[in-house]
Amino acid sequence: MISHNVYFNLDLKHDDISNRPKKYKAYIAEGNNGAMIKGLIKRRFWWSIVEERTTDCNFVWTQLKIPDIFDRQKRTMNAKPRFLN
């Protein structure tokens, strides 16, 4: 029996770490399908899941609204709503 390993054009060389792309941070709390979201994020190599919510998180998934997250978001005054068909 012959076994083949296929790597789908991945370069498996050990390059300098500084050449690798940035990893995004995700904080996923319990509830609101958190386990499902955590499973999806784990599949993406460019994301890492953190245990505590910090200001440098790129993605926050919680069951409750957290006012300081909404306050940090940029507001757009002249934006028109877009509807996709």
Q: Is 56:23 a contact under the CB 8 Å cutoff? A: no
**pLDDT band at residue 83 under the 50/70/90 scheme:** low
pTM exceeds 0.85: no
- Here the tokens at position 20 are 């690798």
Adjacent-strand bridge partners of 13 = none
Terminal CA-CA length for the chain = 52
Cα–Cα dist 29/35, whole Å:
9
Q: How does pLDDT run across 52-65, given as a tens digit for each residue?
A: 998 889 999 998 87
Say whether 22 sits in a helix, a strand or coil: coil
Residue with tokens 């370069």: 11
